[in-house]
Amino acid sequence: MTLERPNIARMHGYTPGEQPDAATTIKLNTNENPYPPSPQVAAALAAIDIASLRRYPPPLATPFRQAASAYHGISPDNIVATNGGDELLRLAITTFVDSGETIVTTQPSYSLYPVLADVQSCQLVELPLDDDWRMPQDFLAGAIAAQAKMIILVNPHAPTGCLLPATYLAQLASAFSGVLLVDEAYVDFVDPELGYDSVALIREHENILILRTMSKGYSLAGLRFGYGIGAASLINPMLYKTRDSYNTDFIAQRLATAAIESVDYARNTWRQVREQRSRLREGLNALGLGTGDSQSNFLLATIPDAIGAETLYKQLKAHHILVRYFDQPRLRDKLRITVGSAEENQTLLQTLRALLGQ
Q: Which of residues 117-176 bind its own copies (CB under 8 A)?
A: 119, 121
CB of 20 to its own copies, least distance (A): 10
Q: Which long-range contacts (C-beta less than 8 Å, at least 24 apart) are formed by 269-272?
A: 269/33, 269/35, 269/217, 269/219, 270/188, 270/189, 270/217, 272/35
CB of 357 to its own copies, least distance (A): 32
Q: Does 4 bind its own copies (CB under 8 A)?
A: yes
CB of 330 to its own copies, least distance (A): 23
Q: Does 233 bind its own copies (CB under 8 A)?
A: yes
Residue selected from 26, 27, 294, 324 as contacting its own copies according to rule CB under 8 A: 27
- Of 261 and 284, the one with the shorter C-beta distance to its own copies is 261
* Segment 194 to 223, residues that bind its own copies, using CB under 8 A: 206-207, 215, 219-223
Residue selected from 165, 175, 192, 241 as contacting its own copies according to rule CB under 8 A: 241
Task: Give 180-206 as a DSSP string.
Answer: EEEE-TTGGGS-GGG----GGGGGT-T
CB atoms within 10 A of CB 93: 25
Q: Does 268 bind its own copies (CB under 8 A)?
A: no
At 150, phi and psi to the nearest 5?
-150, 140
- Of 342 and 354, the one with the shorter C-beta distance to its own copies is 342
CB of 99 to its own copies, least distance (A): 5
Q: Environment class of residue 80 by beta-carbon count within 10 Å: exposed (0-12), middle (13-18) or buried (19+)?
A: buried
Query: Is the C-alpha dihedral spanning 185, 119, 64, 34 positive or negative?
Result: negative
Q: Which stretch binds its own copies (CB under 8 A): 93-101, 279-287, 290-298, 310-318?
A: 93-101
- With contacts defined by CB under 8 A, how many residues of the chain interact with its own copies? 80
Q: Does 73 bind its own copies (CB under 8 A)?
A: no
CB of 270 to its own copies, least distance (A): 14
- Of 92 and 187, the one with the shorter C-beta distance to its own copies is 92
Q: Does 255 bind its own copies (CB under 8 A)?
A: yes
Q: Environment class of residue 325 by beta-carbon count within 10 Å: exposed (0-12), middle (13-18) or buried (19+)?
A: buried
Strands (E), the chain: 26-27, 79-82, 102-107, 123-128, 148-154, 179-183, 208-213, 226-229, 298-302, 321-322, 334-338
CB of 185 to its own copies, least distance (A): 13
> For residue 108, how far is the Cα from the chain centroid?
14
- Of 13 and 357, the one with the shorter C-beta distance to its own copies is 13
